[in-house]
Amino acid sequence: MRTSSIAILLLASLLSVSACSGDTSMDGDGGAGADFGVDASAHMGRLLPECESMEPPSASSLPLVASTLVATVVPMSPRETMSDDLNPTTEAGETLYSSMGYNLYAAGEGEDRIRRDDLGDVTAPMGERHSLAWFVQLSDFQLADDESPLRVTVTDNPTIPGGLRSQEAFLTHAVSAFNRTFTRIENPDHPYDFGIITGDCADSAQRNELRWVIEVMNGHAGMHVDSGDDNDPIPGPDNDPKDPFNPTPFPAPWLFVVGNHDVEVVGFAEVNEARRAQAIGTVPTTGTRDYNQWYAPITTRRIVADPEREIVDREDIVAALRADTEGPGPVGHGFSPTEDPDFTLGANYVYDAIPGLLRIVSFDTSDITGGSNGLVRRATIDNFLVPALNQAHDDHMLVIMASHHPTTDIDVLEEQLGNPIADAVPPEEIESIVAAHPEVIAWIVGHVHNNRIRAMAGADAAHPGYWEVMASAVADFPSQQRTMEIVDNGNGTLSLFSTVIDYDTESCSERRYRRLTQMEYLSAWTDRVSDDPLDHNVELIIPIPEAALGSVATASASAPTRIESETTLRGL
């Protein structure tokens, strides 16, 4: 999640205070307690409303529609120009915004695809075309331990969004819904080659959050998203977000890219010993959720500790990914199964997604000094990125770069607000370096929680540049992800088809996630997102790099002529 500099200053100050403060707000009996709330006796034993009771009439009538080429999910109210003071995470907030129709949506018309040739004059596709690669981009799950003492819920407001989300308890249900949706729309005769999560998989660098990411992607039976107290807000099985459930696995091998929330406390605070201790402690000085009270209000009182909230480092992430043998793989999820990255340069890797044709260069842009912006050191450019791109050129490979941050959110400052770092590489220089390597046809990113496509022009016809493709976040509206397909046009060019996908909803939990996410957006408690069709369904044309002509020709000889983006995703 991108966070403003003023917000970073405030949040870092609060976390610094909380990491060294003691517990001063315990109940008289020394037990856990909330700052406000109503106990279960007032609600027939329930601490959350039953999901179905919150649904408006005809809530489940939206048809199963995933591809936005065919239909879209349209809010039935406009977005506010200015937010109200009433937080939508509260019962009063949800009641108000529901009465204003912010929880209502309907099926709307599809958005057609736009062909873009911003990177130079190229002829229109002609002759027989071949599908070289077919894959999925996911981004910004931010699977949050919403009961962690590291949270900063007391700061949540429209200027500093994301400290608290109405929908956060249902996040794993939304990811599972995406996995099921991608499975349903997949052509069994032409399965996805892979999927890639472009960072912020977890929310606050905790071990339990990382485990939940792996479990939801693998469809782990009996997945239990709970920490501290074993909560059951609505008595009975499988009827509230703290109950174990069986998620749908992602239907293909999946790759993991590191984001700032994966390696920093709540995505902006440098990991230190005080914060490590706070994570597994009992004092949520900056506020967390209390599922022992009605509507899980914010509490700053003592909570139950949990060792699974331990903060993980890059080395721990790679080890956990290597240890995963439950799902579709690959072992290490992009990282080498046996060879450690040079962690002084970041958690970077090179992975041949389609041997002999397509190489993924995963580029760790998260700032170890703190701050939500990215930061790249000179040594990482010189000793990882440039050698990796040069090797891809020598190997006649196409390259897709993957990182969490776009270059628009990379800076050269310590902790985002501090002094310039001498060996930090300016984003403009990074763009020039990448654009000078024609083997790079695209750079896929997340972080901004928005759909965006940028043409990053190179210096000349021999170095045309690359396409930057950003997916929005599962965690926030519009909660859309992307399919991508690389197609040989048969005329010396490639097309990169990118299609925005909505998740289908089959359960009340999934529908509740959609309504709460939309409510936060329409009430202006989250940032505005792009409604420009140029950022949505596109065909991005780029010349085939000269060094890769032979590899593309070889791959095309046996590649399918059916273009899934123009057949399956159009319902054909």
Give the model confidence (pLDDT) of 235-254 as tens digits.
Answer: 999 999 999 999 999 999 99
- Cα 435 to Cα 524: distance, rounded to the nearest angstrom: 37
Name the strand (E) or helix (H) holding 518: helix 508-522
Average pLDDT, the chain: 92
Which pLDDT score is estimated for 43?
Answer: 81
Which pLDDT score is estimated for 22?
Answer: 47
pLDDT bracket for residue 527 (50, 70, 90): very high
- Checking if the pLDDT of 62 tops 70, the result is yes
Which pLDDT score is estimated for 64?
Answer: 76
Strands lying side by side in the sheet with 452-460:
349-354, 358-362, 398-402, 440-445, 463-470, 452-460
**Is residue 223 within 8 Å of 172, Cβ to Cβ?**
yes
Which pLDDT score is estimated for 160?
Answer: 82
- Which residue, 482, 467, 483, 473, is CA-closest to 540? 467
**Alpha carbon 516 to chain centroid distance?**
18
Which pLDDT score is estimated for 8?
Answer: 52
Which pLDDT score is estimated for 2?
Answer: 62
- Cα 572 to Cα 568: distance, rounded to the nearest angstrom: 5
Taking residues 282-290, report their average pLDDT.
97
- Checking if the pLDDT of 37 tops 80, the result is no
Taking residues 57-75, report their average pLDDT.
83
Which pLDDT score is estimated for 84?
Answer: 86
- Checking if the pLDDT of 214 tops 90, the result is yes
Domain parsing of the chain, residue ranges? 5-229+236-570
Task: Indicate the angle between helix axes 508-522 and 91-99, nearest 10 degrees.
Answer: 80
- Express each pLDDT in 91-100 by its tens digit: 999 999 999 9
Record the tokens describing residue 260, joined without a space.
């700032």
Taking residues 284-298, report their average pLDDT.
96
- Express each pLDDT in 137-196 by its tens digit: 999 999 999 999 999 999 998 888 889 999 999 999 999 999 999 999 999 999 999 999
Which pLDDT score is estimated for 185?
Answer: 94
Which pLDDT score is estimated for 572?
Answer: 82
- Give φ, ψ of 418 to 5 degrees: -90, -155
Which pLDDT score is estimated for 63?
Answer: 73
pLDDT bracket for residue 36 (50, 70, 90): very low
**Is residue 452 within 8 Å of 498, Cβ to Cβ?**
no
Which pLDDT score is estimated for 497?
Answer: 98
- Checking if the pLDDT of 17 tops 60, the result is no
Count CA within 13 A, CB hemisphere, residue 208: 20
Which pLDDT score is estimated for 124?
Answer: 67
pLDDT bracket for residue 26 (50, 70, 90): very low
Which pLDDT score is estimated for 13?
Answer: 53
Which pLDDT score is estimated for 24?
Answer: 39
Taking residues 104-132, report their average pLDDT.
88
pTM above 0.85, yes or no: yes
Which pLDDT score is estimated for 44?
Answer: 81
As beta bridge partners, residue 133 has 486
Q: What one-character DSSP code corresponds to residue 383? A: I
For residue 305, the tally of other CB atoms under 10 A from its CB is 15
Protein fold of 5-229+236-570: Purple Acid Phosphatase; chain A, domain 2 (3.60.21)
- Checking if the pLDDT of 30 tops 50, the result is no
Taking residues 204-229, report their average pLDDT.
98
Which pLDDT score is estimated for 14?
Answer: 58
Taking residues 293-319, report their average pLDDT.
97
Which pLDDT score is estimated for 39?
Answer: 64
Taking residues 196-210, report their average pLDDT.
98
Residue 396's region, left for phi above 0, alpha for psi from -120 to 50, else beta, is: left
Residue 501, SS3? strand
Tell me whether residue 478 is exposed, middle or buried, using C-beta atoms within 10 angstroms of its C-beta: 0 to 12, 13 to 18, 19 or more: buried
- Cα 461 to Cα 492: distance, rounded to the nearest angstrom: 13
pLDDT bracket for residue 61 (50, 70, 90): low
Q: Which of 8-17, 357-366, 420-429, 465-474 has the lowest mean pLDDT?
A: 8-17
- Checking if the pLDDT of 120 tops 90, the result is no
pLDDT bracket for residue 23 (50, 70, 90): very low
